[in-house]
Copies of this chain bind each other. A is one copy, B any other.
């Protein structure tokens, strides 16, 4: 495998802790030579999307993804429908920003079966709108530790089954998944799942970070690549072997560490670690 450089990589802005306005974040990411950025909806509050989109374009950055969906499942039909409408509006913004994918963290309910059925229905309701806008819908299977509060979809297999059920086999899918090493590294079926996703051309993104051992906070204690236990080189090899040619995107939720550091420091460490540890 060739050594990764910044030009092969994207920065998910959550990595930088939302400590600066989006224009400064874009500046920093571009200045360090990264090829892509994945901004969050919260960063667009009070901003002109046109202006942000222009700045990103002028910086030469791709927008790998726009984060993230409003949770889909709800306890009432009205709330479910509102969630889908909200996601359609966010899709408009994703399109305006030039995002390749809309990143879908799908939500959950105590009744997992109902949650999964609602997600399937809701994603199907969004598909045509996404196609019209030319923004891919990327389901992100989350680590099973989030099954109670963030995502009823935890297995890559399950996400791929849902893609197949909604869209069927197609040459150029609108619906696919993000492979996030943090969420999937532990699985004995990782290679099988990634190969299936690659064959179906449903890998829309590849997220990296690391699993710290011990992990002191399951939500916001993700590690910098190389500081944890994930064999990121092997996972990258599998993802590339099945034909993924997109950017490698760093996404580190780390209120305990990296979010407290200056953006430039974090970005420099990422450039070093993608060379040595991914």
Interface residues of chain A, those whose CB is within 8 Å of chain B, are 110-112, 116, 143-145, 147-149, 153-155, 157-158, 161, 185-189, 211, 213-215, 218, 228-229, 231
Alpha-carbon separation in the docked complex, A143 to B143 (Å): 10
Asked whether A154 lies within 8 Å of B188 as measured between CB atoms, the reply is yes
Asked whether B154 lies within 8 Å of A187 as measured between CB atoms, the reply is yes
Alpha-carbon separation in the docked complex, A144 to B190 (Å): 13
Alpha-carbon separation in the docked complex, A218 to B219 (Å): 12
A161: nearest chain-B partner, CB-CB: B188
Cβ of A218: which chain B residues have Cβ within 8 Å of it?
145, 215, 218
A234: nearest chain-B partner, CB-CB: B113
Asked whether A188 lies within 8 Å of B144 as measured between CB atoms, the reply is no
Alpha-carbon separation in the docked complex, A243 to B240 (Å): 44
Stoichiometry, as copies per complex, reads: 2
Asked whether A149 lies within 8 Å of B214 as measured between CB atoms, the reply is yes
Asked whether B189 lies within 8 Å of A157 as measured between CB atoms, the reply is yes
Asked whether B147 lies within 8 Å of A186 as measured between CB atoms, the reply is yes
* A147, A185, A215 interface centre (most CB from chain B within 10 Å): A147
A-B CB proximity, top 6 nearest:
A147-B186, A158-B188, A148-B213, A144-B186, A145-B145, A148-B229
8 contacts between A and B (CB under 8 A): A110-B231, A111-B231, A112-B231, A144-B144, A145-B145, A154-B188, A158-B188, A218-B218
Alpha-carbon separation in the docked complex, A3 to B111 (Å): 21
Cβ of A110: which chain B residues have Cβ within 8 Å of it?
229, 231
Alpha-carbon separation in the docked complex, A213 to B149 (Å): 7
Alpha-carbon separation in the docked complex, A157 to B187 (Å): 11
Cβ of A231: which chain B residues have Cβ within 8 Å of it?
110-112
Asked whether A154 lies within 8 Å of B186 as measured between CB atoms, the reply is yes
* Shortest distance from the beta carbon of A112 to any chain B beta carbon, whole Å: 7
* Shortest distance from the beta carbon of A89 to any chain B beta carbon, whole Å: 29
Alpha-carbon separation in the docked complex, A155 to B71 (Å): 26
* Shortest distance from the beta carbon of A104 to any chain B beta carbon, whole Å: 16
Alpha-carbon separation in the docked complex, A188 to B187 (Å): 14
Cβ of A111: which chain B residues have Cβ within 8 Å of it?
231
Cβ of A155: which chain B residues have Cβ within 8 Å of it?
187-189
* Shortest distance from the beta carbon of A200 to any chain B beta carbon, whole Å: 18
